């Protein structure tokens, strides 16, 4: 193939790509190599004019590129400029993006390629904008949650402290009253019960919303894996609920399996189990049974708590895990227990459902992801662990 | 006419582009459009009856994907470091940037602009965090591209200082 035909092919290729090539001459001036794209004249004028029109291209051609061309390091190579923006003023109004590449040929020839970069800019801008928006959004969310945490703590403090004082004084009055006082003593006892119920409600609200806030701020961040032995926590919680079951004449029937590490933390997990067990005990009749069963299914551990009570009212079954939802006639309950269970379990990547058993009674079943690393490492002490 | 190159440096979304738009065109938009690459704007200012054309280089903000391309800083007469008063981490980012740039340009006329002063109630940047910069001789200004507060003043003062540097250099 002849040199002329090589040159023609190169010209056609550059034309197809919309690339302008400037050849750098001995004294630093540039000469356009044919073909010259139409945008070059519109935006930059000519090889003689581009310095006056584009401060960036002038800076690149006389700065970094000139240093590259004149460097002692002989041989082929290129130096990219990065993307820059040009705006045209009087004749054609618009934004244009370009990039330039300074090149050095094998024979020592210096050239400058200039090409439109609108597509590349659009891709990079879209990607970067998305990343920045996400990062700023996450930051805003975390700040908002921090403010809510502080607000929550203030509210809890302002509600809880006066109540503690009221309770302390009621207990003091109760101790001072004669055992035979038939009027004041029952009244004080009722007041103490109400105050303690109020304190429990505040505690529930604090726990639920703290878990909610922490859960939201942790979402999307895989972070460190926290794990806990479900069997060990369940055994402790069942033992703690045994007295309440005995008082109602209900038998707790756990079916423990071997060690089972799940994603979670001991205290909230214990609170979840306690909520579900106390619910089941409360709805069981004298002489009834509450069974607690565990199993492993694929990557999840399942805990199922079943009672023989009247079951869940079908009218509330869909919103059972919503805040302030109550499953039946349960005076004095906050309606936050099951909401807390759902929030916490979902925060750990699990799920919880409530249903009625065909044979009667309710069944609450939660699933938690197995803590792979803890199960594999053969932890046997039932302690929570944190691994990164 | 004297021409001077000023580079705006800082983390993403601190308001570099907004400061330039406010100074050059007198406009502001709340929409955040992240800068990719470089955009150069120009404005002529008067310093003691001398006209100075400021060539303002708005560089893409540093983030986890990209650092400032150091070749863009060549030939500069001043650096304007910009931080977002509502984001403490932008100060940490600019400190890193300054340390790297100072190694190559140790005596450059520089200023630190703490932007978004219109959101001063949400500021995480306190005076004690800025004190070291003042002590190091930086011009430190609270700015707001939204209201225009201190924007023209910052560029004018930089122009004055750049000319002062030139005069100092000539005397030497």
Mean pLDDT of chain A: 83
Alpha carbon distance B114, B144 (integer Å): 8
**Residue predicted with more confidence, A383 or A340:** A340
Contact A82 B75 (CB under 8 A): no
Nearest in space to B160 (alpha carbons), one of B74, B77, B58, B40: B77
Contact A129 B39 (CB under 8 A): no
A244 and A367 share one domain = yes
A104 and A147 share one domain = no
* A130 in a structural domain: no
Q: With residue B81 as reference, give the H or E element that holds it.
A: strand B78-84
The last residue of one of the domains, among A167, A191, A218, is A218
Q: How many CB pairs under 8 A join A and B?
A: 56
Q: What CATH number does residue A42 fall under?
A: 3.30.450
Alpha carbon distance A309, A286 (integer Å): 10
A77 and A188 share one domain = no
Nearest in space to A282 (alpha carbons), one of A303, A312, A325: A312
pLDDT tens digits for range A6-25: 777 777 777 788 899 999 99
A240 and A213 share one domain = no
A99 and A27 share one domain = yes
Domain ranges of chain B: 2-171
Q: With residue A233 as reference, give the H or E element that holds it.
A: helix A230-247
In chain B, which residue's Cα lies nearest the Cα of A128?
B34
Least confident of A203-212, A306-315, A324-333, A378-387: A378-387
The domain over range B2-171 is classified in CATH as 3.30.1490.20: no
Chain A interface mutation, best of B11, B71, B88, B89, highest count of A Cβ atoms under 10 Å: B71
Q: What is the mean pLDDT of residues A23-48?
A: 90
The last residue of one of the domains, among A218, A233, A266, is A218
pLDDT tens digits for range A154-187: 777 888 888 888 989 998 998 888 888 888 888 8
Cβ of residue B70 closer than 8 Å to a chain A Cβ: no
Confidence of residue A84 (pLDDT cuts 50, 70, 90): very high
A204 and A286 share one domain = no
Q: What is the mean pLDDT of residues B82-101?
A: 94
Is residue A231 within 8 Å of residue A257, measured between CB atoms?
A: yes
Mean pLDDT of chain B: 91
What residue numbers bound the domain in which A377 lies? Answer: 225-387
Q: What is the mean pLDDT of residues A255-283?
A: 89
Residue in this structure with the two tokens 């379990």, named with its chain if needed: A345
Task: Say what the pTM is.
Answer: 0.65
* A122 in a structural domain: no
The distance of B135 to chain A (nearest Cα, Å) reads 31
A100 and A150 share one domain = no
Query: What ipTM describes this predicted complex?
Result: 0.90
pLDDT, position A223: 43
* A25 in a structural domain: yes
Q: What is the mean pLDDT of residues B14-21?
A: 96
The last residue of one of the domains, among A185, A202, A218, is A218
Least confident of A212-221, A222-231, A296-305, B77-86: A212-221
User: Which residues have C-beta within 8 Å of that of residue A371, sequence separation ≥ 6?
Assistant: A225, A226, A227, A228, A261, A262, A263
CA angle A19, A20, A21 (to 5 degrees): 120
Find the Cα–Cα–Cα–Cα dihedral B98, B99, B105, B107, rounded to 10°.
80
A359 and A282 share one domain = yes
In chain A, which residue's Cα lies nearest the Cα of B70?
A64
Could you tell me the two tokens for B110?
A: 């520089």
pLDDT tens digits for range B20-72: 999 999 999 988 889 999 999 999 999 988 999 999 999 998 776 666 788 89
Chain B neighbors of A83, CB-CB under 8 A: 36-38
A25 and A56 share one domain = yes
Chain B interface mutation, best of A50, A52, A83, A114, highest count of B Cβ atoms under 10 Å: A83
Is residue A346 within 8 Å of residue A331, measured between CB atoms?
A: no
Q: Kindly state the DSSP code that residue A216 receives in the 8-state scheme.
A: H
A67 and A40 share one domain = yes
* A11 in a structural domain: yes
pLDDT, position A83: 94
Task: Give the number of domains in chain A.
Answer: 3
**Residue predicted with more confidence, A142 or A14:** A142
First to last CA, chain A: 63
pLDDT, position B167: 63
- What is chain A's length? 388
Cβ of residue B31 closer than 8 Å to a chain A Cβ: no
A372 and A243 share one domain = yes
Residue B52, class by beta-carbon neighbours within 10 Å (0-12 exposed, 13-18 middle, 19+ buried)? buried
A167 and A237 share one domain = no
Q: What is the mean pLDDT of residues A80-90?
A: 82
The distance of A242 to chain B (nearest Cα, Å) reads 52
Contact B34 A82 (CB under 8 A): no
* A163 in a structural domain: yes
Contact B39 A121 (CB under 8 A): no
Q: What is the largest CA-CA distance in chain B?
A: 47
């Amino acid at each position: 193939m002849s040199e002329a035909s090589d040159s023609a092919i190169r010209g056609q290729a550059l034309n197809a790509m919309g690339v302008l090539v400037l050849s750098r001459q001995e004294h630093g001036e540039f000469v356009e190599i044919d073909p010259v794209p139409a945008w070059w004249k519109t935006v930059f004028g000519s090889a003689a004019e581009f310095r006056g029109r584009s401060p960036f291209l002038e800076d690149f051609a006389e700065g970094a590129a000139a240093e590259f061309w004149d460097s002692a390091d002989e041989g082929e190579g290129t130096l990219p400029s990065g993307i820059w923006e040009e705006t045209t003023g009087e004749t054609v109004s618009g934004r244009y993006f370009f990039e330039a590449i300074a090149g050095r040929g094998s024979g020592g020839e210096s050239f400058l390629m200039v090409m439109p970069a609108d597509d590349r800019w659009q891709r990079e801008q879209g990607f970067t904008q998305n990343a920045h928006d996400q990062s700023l959004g996450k930051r805003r969310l975390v700040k908002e949650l921090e403010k809510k945490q502080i607000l929550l703590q203030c509210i809890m403090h302002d509600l809880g402290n006066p109540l503690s004082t009221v309770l302390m004084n009621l207990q003091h009055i109760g101790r001072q009253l004669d055992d035979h006082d038939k009027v004041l003593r029952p009244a004080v006892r009722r007041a103490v019960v109400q105050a303690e119920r109020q304190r429990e409600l505040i505690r529930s609200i604090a726990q639920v919303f703290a878990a909610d806030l922490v859960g939201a701020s942790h979402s999307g961040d895989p972070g460190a894996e926290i794990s806990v032995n479900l069997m060990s926590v369940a055994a402790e919680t069942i033992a703690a609920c045994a007295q309440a079951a005995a008082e109602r004449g209900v038998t707790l029937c756990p079916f423990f399996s071997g060690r089972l590490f799940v994603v979670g933390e001991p205290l909230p997990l214990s609170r979840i189990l306690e909520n579900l067990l106390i619910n089941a005990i409360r709805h069981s009749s004298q002489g009834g049974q509450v069974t607690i069963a565990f199993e492993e299914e694929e990557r999840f551990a399942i805990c199922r708590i079943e009672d023989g009570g009247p079951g869940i009212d079908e009218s509330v079954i869909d919103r059972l895990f919503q805040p302030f939802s109550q499953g039946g006639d349960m005076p004095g309950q906050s309606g936050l227990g099951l909401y807390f269970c759902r929030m916490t379990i979902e925060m750990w990547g699990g799920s919880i459902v409530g249903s009625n058993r065909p044979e009667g009674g309710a069944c609450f079943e939660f699933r938690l992801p197995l803590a792979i690393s803890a199960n594999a490492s053969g932890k046997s002490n039932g302690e929570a662990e944190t691994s990164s | 006419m004297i021409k001077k190159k000023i580079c705006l440096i800082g983390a993403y979304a601190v308001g570099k582009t907004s400061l330039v738009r406010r100074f050059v065109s007198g406009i502001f938009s709340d929409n955040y459009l992240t800068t990719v690459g470089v955009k150069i704007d120009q404005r002529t200012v008067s310093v003691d009856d001398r006209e100075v054309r400021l060539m303002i280089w708005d560089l893409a903000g540093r983030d986890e994907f990209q650092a400032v391309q150091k070749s863009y800083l060549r030939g500069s007469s001043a650096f304007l470091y910009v931080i977002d008063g509502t984001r403490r981490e932008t100060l940490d980012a600019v400190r890193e940037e300054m340390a790297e740039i100072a190694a190559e340009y140790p005596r450059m006329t520089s200023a630190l602009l703490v932007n978004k002063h219109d959101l001063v109630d949400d500021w995480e940047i306190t005076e004690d965090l800025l004190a070291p910069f003042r002590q190091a001789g930086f011009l430190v200004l609270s700015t707001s591209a939204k209201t225009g507060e201190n924007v023209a003043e910052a560029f004018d003062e930089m122009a004055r200082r750049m000319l002062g540097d030139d005069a100092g250099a000539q005397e030497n």
